[in-house]
Structure 1
Amino acid sequence: MSLVLLAACSDGNGDASASSEKRTVVDALGREVKVPQNVERILMGGQKMLYTTALLNPDNPTDKIVAWPEDLKENDKATYDRYVEKFPKIKDIPTTGEIYNNTMSLEQALESRPDVFVVNAGVFDAAKDAGIVDGLEKAGVPTVTVDYFIDPVKNTEPSIRMMGQLLGREKQAEDFINYYEKKVNKVADRLAEKKPAPTPTFLWRAPGYFDCCSTFAKSNLAQIVNFAGGLNLGDEMIDAKQGQVSPEALAGKNPEVIIATGADWDQGKTPVKEGNYVPLGYSESKEEAQKALHDVVGKQPAVREVDAVKSKRTFVAWHHFYDSPYNFLAVEMFAKAMHPDLFGDIDTEREVQDLHDKFLPIEASGTFWTGLE
């Protein structure tokens, strides 16, 4: 990378006096980072950040975004299509490679002339190893992290707050944080008052997309299971944040509740054959999802004999709760599944509708949660 290009990128981001004025933000990793007082150009480390920017600026959710990878289009096509239908200019935003598979380069990052680089905490080290973080820093471009994946219970609110600061949407960020806190505190407070025994629960990660049976442990949706009154069995079964167990190992744990995840994977980057997974999201009907869940469970003889299946306490949640600020919906859904006597007043469909009515620019449609009937 030439010094000329580095200089051009550090000097060409807008008004010189504006870029010299700094403010300090605290990112999801707790790092205090100096960023321009008025950020105008943001390089996103993931297109899924649209989940966040749409909350904060529903009239113009791509404001200030100058480039991003295509992970939303590749992994959540139904959501991507809804936003493109309403905001066609999304298709015109330049795209980059992705950090997780080492296809984003420093050259790509600098080409977008960003004021700041926003990256998921889970791939921050990979971005450093690739030379992107240090290279941008030498060009005067700070990197900040968000996190809905590693420690969602702790990091969702600071991630939203920081993004509100970067986008100049502080009030909108605080409005959503207050809403979010009300939802999760309702669950936490009721559990603290009633003190039910944790419900042994197996998180079945993307059946059909992954071989049976992939699961989460000690972070991500597993953390939400534990927060919402469950005992996440994957914590005892795997040593990584996500990994495989055999159907027989799952059956040996005999969970009281199974929560699978599903999404619209037949048209993504890695298409999955219809009938082998549970389709959830904006395009899917409850009837289709329920039939698919029944079929997926039926293909696993060991799994279909566990108590969670026999008692019809087997559910499926939208997979992308695992990496979005909408994870409070998973808190509510999981709590109701694991403790129906305590949370029978939670109407999951109404909660999805309320989120869209209050914060999002697209209409609620499709299915984000259902179960065996």
Structure 2
Amino acid sequence: MKFLSRAALAATVYATLAATAAWAGDMVTVTDITGRKVEVSVPVERVILGEGRQIYFTAALDTDAPFKRVVGWRDDFKKADLDGYNEYLRKFPEMDKLPTFGGMKDGTFDVEQAVALHPDVIIMNIDAKAATEEAGYIDKLAKVGIPLVYVDFREKPMENTEPSMRLIGKLYGKEDRAEDFIKFREEEIAKVTDVLAAHPDVKKPVVFMERAGGYSDDCCMSFGNENFGKMVEIAGGINMAKDIIPGTFGTVNPEQIIASDPDQVIVTGANWELYVPGDNWVGLGAGADKKEAARKLSALMDRPGFTGIKAVKDGNVHAIWHQFYNNPYQFVAIQQIAKWLHPDLFKDLDPEATFSELHKRFLPVPYESGYFVSVNYGG
């Protein structure tokens, strides 16, 4: 009986979609970030976000009403960025009632639930592609007229952020808004790259980027030549793990940190109270307690692999909001990293002001400090 009800549901939804296709919008073919050609009726009015944190880019386009198209989303936003979730919840309490999904990669995405919500499109992150294809979700959704597109702000964000924003702008009917965002992003990155280009002989410090330090007892997750690893390079540093980790993400051991003796350490962190309650992670995000974040960051430097290295001895230890790794705001992170690595060159650069300006121009919530922290040991 359950199988029949699902089949009946799918048939009903398909008939509804077919009947409304003619007036729902213009049918266009878009190219997603993987190169797939996908037919979508635009502007879309009903969207399922394959990750809750995709509200970061949705809010930059649908600033006045960021949830107006969202009919369902993955349940990760609250868990992965509790401070950010609460920031949005205060202004948009209705978001707490949106239907939530599990993930493609962990096999908990519910296709029947998605079909019942009548979405015009499902937006997935590229890291879910293998699991999506293995489960045959694209074909299942296509049979009931629901297109799926991939975007990427995580695997190769410096390469894929602009085309991803253009794709979403096309889907939302907000192409001009997307171009405004892209222009702002380019201008802010240029405030770093132009200065470095004018000082080609500047010494580049070796930087160890620790991904989610303190999230677990293991040491240490990091980044290869992408994501935060690429941001370090753009900001005028040398990513310590570039030649150790072959892909975007990986691990290094304490002995490799000691041998490399990095000049700077930058740890990513967020409020992960719902993932790992009361643990050693550095809680950063909107309105975070910087004093508590600095205390936790300092404690992380007592682990094997960090005690005695140059960065700790010289007082060049920092933490940055983890979620810069998965949204289109990476240019703020690039500015902050550049300021840490080259304080003399970038003494007039103000990443906090940049992030505040981003909020004023593109986001529906006011800027609250709490995304960066440093600890100094003297030296």
| Structure-2-length-normalised TM-score | 0.92
Matched, 1:287 2:291: yes
Instruction: Give how far 1:262 is off.
Output: 0.9
- Conservation of the 8 A alpha-carbon contact between 1:255 and 1:308: yes
Q: Conserved in 1, the CA contact under 8 Å of 2:169 and 2:178?
A: yes
**Residue type matched to 1:282 in 2?**
A
Report how far residue 23 of structure 1 moved: 1.3
> Where does 1:1-373 land on structure 2 (aligned, <5 Å)?
4-13=8-17, 15-19=20-24, 21-195=26-200, 196-210=202-216, 211-266=218-273, 268=274, 270-274=275-279, 276-298=280-302, 300-373=303-376
Look up the SS of the partner of 1:264 in the other structure.
coil
Q: Give the whole-Å Cα distance in 2 for the aligned partners of 1:216 and 1:80.
A: 26
Q: For 1:321, what is the secondary structure of its paired residue? A: helix
> How far apart in 2 are the matches of 1:254 and 1:339?
18
Residue 185 of structure 1: CA displacement?
A: 2.1
Q: CA–CA distance in 2 between the matches of 1:78 and 1:302?
A: 30
Q: CA deviation at 1:301?
A: 4.2
Whether the 8 Å contact between 1:106 and 1:131 is mirrored in structure 2 is no
Q: Which amino acid counterpart does residue 207 of structure 1 have in structure 2? A: G
Shift of 1:46: 0.8
CA distance in 1, matches of 2:203, 2:9: 60
What runs of 5+ residues in structure 2 fail to find an aligned partner? none
**How far 1:4 sits from its partner (Å)?**
4.1
Shift of 1:129: 1.1
Structure 1 vs Structure 2 CA RMSD: 1.9
The structural deviation recorded for 1:108 is 2.6
Counterparts of 1:11 and 1:177, CA distance in 2 = 38
- Structure 1 residue 231: deviation in Å? 1.6
Deviates further, 131-140 or 6-15:
6-15
Which amino acid letter does the alignment assign opposite residue 324 of structure 1? N
- Secondary structure at the aligned position of 1:78 is classed as helix
Query: Identity of paired residues, percent?
Result: 37
Residue-by-residue CA offset, 1:263-297 (whole Å, 9 max, x unaligned): 1112x2x22424x1211111313222222211221
Once the two structures are superposed, what CA deviation does each residue of 1:306-361 show, in whole Å capped at 9, x if it has no partner?
11111111111000101011111111111222222322221122222222122211
The SS at the match of 2:346 is coil
Between stretches 317-326 and 13-22, larger displacement belongs to: 13-22
Unpaired stretches in structure 1, ≥5 consecutive residues: none
8 A contact 1:109–1:132 mirrored in 2:
no
Moved more, 52-61 or 338-347: 338-347
Indicate the SS of the match to 1:304.
coil
Question: Retained in 2: the 8 A contact 1:348–1:369?
Answer: no
Cα separation, partners in 2 of 1:45 and 1:345, compared to 1, 3 Å = same
Aligned length: 369
Secondary structure of 1:118 counterpart: strand
Displacement after TM superposition at 1:5 (Å): 3.5
Q: Deviations over 1:119-146 (max 9, x none)?
A: 0011122111122112112222211111
Deviates more, 1:80-89 or 1:280-289: 280-289
SS of 1:15's equivalent in the other structure is: helix
Q: Distance in 1 between matches of 2:167 and 2:25?
A: 20
Please say if residues 293 and 373 of structure 2, whose CA atoms lie closer than 8 Å, have aligned partners that are also in contact: yes
Residues 118-176 of structure 1 deviation map (CA, whole Å, 9 limit, x = unaligned): 00011122111122112112222211111110111111111112112212222221111
Q: Secondary structure at the match of 1:234?
A: coil
Note the C-alpha offset of 1:218.
Answer: 2.0
Flag the 1:11–1:345 CA change in 2: closer, same or farther, 3 A. Answer: farther
Q: Secondary structure at the match of 2:40?
A: strand
| C-alpha contact 2:42 2:173 (8 A) present in aligned 1 | no
Partners of 2:42 and 2:170 within 8 A in 1: no
Q: Is the 8 A contact 2:25 2:43 kept in 1?
A: no
Secondary structure at the aligned position of 1:303 is classed as: coil
